[in-house]
Structure 1
Amino acid sequence: MKITLRAARVNAGLNLVDASELFGINKDTLAKYEKDSSNVPRSFFSRIEEVYGFPVEYIFFGPQSDFFRKLKTA
């Protein structure tokens, strides 16, 4: 089962500000990625496992609304 980008951050025990600092991006940018991760740049993508300690293949990439819509139909 996959989790959202936001869930990966929360599971890592990080708030939005701390996580954005670890990624070297603005907190508003990270919040945007969490709402729709379908267009995250490769530089961010490659650091997810390092920052969150969670395998990238288990993270859902796309609009967060699609993730929750798929959960309801599953």
Structure 2
Amino acid sequence: MPEYKVTWRAARVNAGYTLKEVANLTDRSIDTIHRYERDSRDIPFDLMGQLLSLYSVPQDMVFCGKESDLIGIRKIIPA
């Protein structure tokens, strides 16, 4: 299990994709992808699989939940 987790947004950016590209590749709207990047608690399983494959990241490396919760945790825990 990885020592850290990345947000869906970070996984996308690290893979070199824009929101528009991901929306086109997954046949979803830009708003839908953006919404799940902010809060992935209810991300559909099929979309999660597409994104994991597209971004080439293992499932246990990506944080599923509210992006602000992960960022808040990082601010509380000293580096």
Sort the TM-score into its range (normalised by shorter chain): over 0.9
User: Taking structure 1 as the reference length, what is the TM-score of the superposition?
Assistant: 0.94
Any gaps of 5 or more consecutive residues in structure 2? none
Q: How many residue pairs are counted as aligned between the two chains? A: 74
Matches within 5 A, 1:1-74: 1-74=4-77
Higher radius of gyration, 1 or 2 = 2
- Alignment deviations for residues 16-71 of structure 1 (CA, whole Å, 9 cap, x no partner): 00011111111110000001011100111111221111111100010111011110
Percent identity (aligned): 35
Flag as ranges the 4+ runs of structure 1 deviating above 2 A.
Answer: none
Distance in 1 (alpha carbons) for counterparts of 2:52 and 2:45: 13
Equivalents in 1 of 2:46, 2:27: separation in Å? Answer: 10
Stretches of structure 1 lacking an aligned partner (at least 5 in a row): none
Contact 1:5/1:59, CA 8 A, preserved across alignment: yes
